[in-house]
Structure 1
Amino acid sequence: MKPAIASTDAVWMLIDVQTRLCDVMPPEAMANVIKNIQRLIQGAQLLNIPLWVTEQYPEKLGDTLPELQTLLPDYTPRIPKLAFSAWHESAFQESSVSVAPQVVLFGLETHICVLQTAQDALAAGKQVFVVEDAVISRTEANRNNAIARMRSAGCIITNTESMLFEPMQGATHAQFKAVSALIR
């Protein structure tokens, strides 16, 4: 069995954090999720971990939130999609990043796009991490149900700080101080 420790040999996926979707989420919870996603985006860059962004039907649901877009490097792949699971998008499957043994998921909605992407990544043999404090659904019951389903299916349910610190494996990592500053 693979160890349940996140590494830099991963791809991180920001799933569907779009303007019109975010508008219908519980405001206080959404604010906390955005804050954690901002930390994850910055951490991925500091740790040189590939980050992919998906947008569900952007013509209807809008673009990725501006406060997240400003943190994304220009080279960040942004994938529009109609399927709920991001896993089946050809751009992702045709990328060399798709061979990464670990997939880290955060975004929305937990019980639809995050869940289906997690299930498909597991079926493809990936070790899947779901960042619990960086996913959201319109209702807490749907979010909790999805987290339970993903845990039961074999996903590793984790949190923002763990995802930022595990790949470094210690305070001697070159980016330790910069990553530590993200959580202050």
Structure 2
Amino acid sequence: MGVVKDKFWLDAEKTALVIIDVQEKLAPAMNQSLYGQLIQHTNLLIEGFKALGLPIIATEQYPQGLGHTVTELPGVASQDCIEKMTFSCCGDDKFMAALEKSEAKQVLIVGMETHVCVFQTALDLLDRGYVVHLVSDALCSRFQSDYANAIKASARAGAVITTTETALFQLVKVAGTDSFKAISKLIRQRTA
């Protein structure tokens, strides 16, 4: 691939979905409009990645204090989440081991909070040579201004800002295949 495609084009053989800290005690404090989008689109991405047989890695920040992953994400079992204390997922050896095991070179990130754990993880992954795509309609923060600033700063740092549908159709690439049919069916079920 060329330089542009290497950065902006997701390749199913190289991509992992990372779900960061969508937890019970954090959820009520989030901007509820952003949070609603995050739940809807993260579920769509989970179903899409499962249909395509692609790796999913989920984390929980200090679950003893912040609770486990919200029940609105039934595709993420809390016992499968990587517990961490560092804001950046990359500060946790278990996370890095899971990412290395996935053999992904591209990381699609969803979760919260955009300006803390998501942003710090994105920077660390970029610094380690990963291609990072932030799914703007599957991220949230307490305040819209923090969310917006983190999106802009992440883009300036080299992350690609994308959306759920863009990412899923990039992973499929070709119409008429079983993968395309599975993703199209999920997309048709999506509400605005």
Same fold (TM over 0.5): yes
2:61 aligned to which of 53, 56, 78: 56
Deviations 1:144-181 (A, max 9, x none): 10000000000000000011110111113322122112
**Alpha-carbon contact 1:43-1:164 (below 8 Å) kept:** yes
RMSD, aligned α-carbons? 1.6
Structure 1: segments with no counterpart, 5+ residues:
none
TM-score, structure 1 normalization: 0.93
1:97 aligned to which of 97, 101, 106: 101
1:86 aligned to which of 84, 89, 100: 89
Structure 2: segments with no counterpart, 5+ residues:
none
Number of the residue aligned with 1:37 = 42
Structural mapping, 1:136-175, within 5 Å: 136-175=140-179
Structural mapping, 1:1-12, within 5 Å: 1=3, 2-8=6-12, 9-12=14-17
**Alpha-carbon contact 2:34-2:141 (below 8 Å) kept:** no
Shift of 1:99: 3.7
Give me the identity figure in percent.
37
**Alpha-carbon contact 1:11-1:97 (below 8 Å) kept:** no
**Alpha-carbon contact 2:7-2:131 (below 8 Å) kept:** no
| Aligned residue type for 2:15 | A
- Between structures 1 and 2, the one with greater helix share: 2
Change in 2 beyond 3 A, CA 1:77/1:173: farther
Number of the residue aligned with 1:106 = 110
Number of the residue aligned with 2:27 = 22
Say which SS state the counterpart of residue 183 (structure 1) adopts.
helix
For 2:76 and 2:150, the matched residues in 1 are separated by 27
Shift of 1:32: 1.7
What is the number of residues matched between the two proteins? 182
**Alpha-carbon contact 2:126-2:132 (below 8 Å) kept:** yes
**Alpha-carbon contact 2:132-2:160 (below 8 Å) kept:** yes
